[in-house]
Amino acid sequence: MPDLTPHQHRPAGRSRMRALLAAATGLALAVAAVLALTALGTPTARTSPEPLLTTVPAHP
């Protein structure tokens, strides 16, 4: 049996808990970002009254 370092002796439950904590933190940050953007509201800028000038490519 090989010699293991103290970091290799960690129980499997701790790594699962660390992954769960990271996922929960990411989810909380994403929800906070959505709420912050929602609180800012819609921009008050106007759109241009003129249509965009586009051309249709010729068909072969």
Tens digit of each residue's pLDDT (9 = 90 or more) over 47-60 = 778 877 777 778 77
Q: What confidence tens digit (pLDDT) does each residue in 18-55 have?
A: 899 999 999 999 999 999 999 998 878 787 788 777 77
**Is it the case that residue 8 has pLDDT exceeding 70?**
no
Residue 19 main-chain phi, psi, to 5 deg: -65, -40
DSSP label at residue 6: G
With tokens 């293991």, the residue in question is 4
Q: Alpha carbon 36 to chain centroid distance?
A: 14
CA 50, 56, 60 angle in degrees (round to 5)? Answer: 170
